């Protein structure tokens, strides 16, 4: 996503837990999740701000978090952000599918969960992925 950051003053802070175990996942699908979450953070920030990418272990899960210090998601919208076709963007600027697709990849394809905490100045999307994947 460097091309989207090229002409901005957005800083990306990485805080990765290097001791996490290796996990078997569908990498290309999860790349779509990270792309959607980071793209939304960039759009929320506009030209300046900070995006924080972090990983950690929580119990039997790897947790990946994508946060930003933008304006936040209004409370009346927060409960709908993962709904298909829901968007707060202007007509022609978004389909309202990015977070729905991300949620389905995380929950349906990887047995994990996806949530968001948001207030003005701090929005964080939390992705929980089980370390031991169940085989279909």
For 69-84, the pLDDT digits (tens) are 999 999 988 888 888 8
- Fold classification of 23-130 (topology level): Heat Shock Protein 90 (3.30.565)
Task: Write down the domain spans for the chain.
Answer: 23-130
CB of 21 within 8 A of CB of 131? yes
CB of 47 within 8 A of CB of 70? no
Would the pLDDT of 134 be above 80?
A: no
Whole-number Å distance between alpha carbons of 119 and 136: 38
pTM of the model: 0.89
């Amino acid at each position: 996503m460097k091309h989207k950051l090229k002409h901005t003053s957005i800083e990306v802070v990485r805080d990765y837990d290097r001791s996490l175990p290796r996990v078997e996942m569908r990498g290309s699908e999860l790349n779509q999740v990270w792309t959607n979450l980071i793209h939304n953070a960039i759009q929320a920030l506009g030209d300046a701000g900070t995006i924080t990418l972090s990983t950690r272990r929580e119990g039997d899960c790897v947790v990946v978090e994508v946060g930003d210090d933008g304006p936040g998601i209004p409370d009346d919208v927060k409960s709908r952000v993962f709904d298909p076709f829901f968007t707060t963007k202007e007509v022609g600027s978004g389909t309202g599918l990015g977070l729905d697709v991300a949620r389905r990849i995380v929950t349906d394809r990887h047995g994990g969960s996806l949530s968001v905490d948001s207030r003005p100045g701090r929005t964080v999307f939390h992705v929980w992925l089980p370390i031991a994947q169940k085989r279909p």
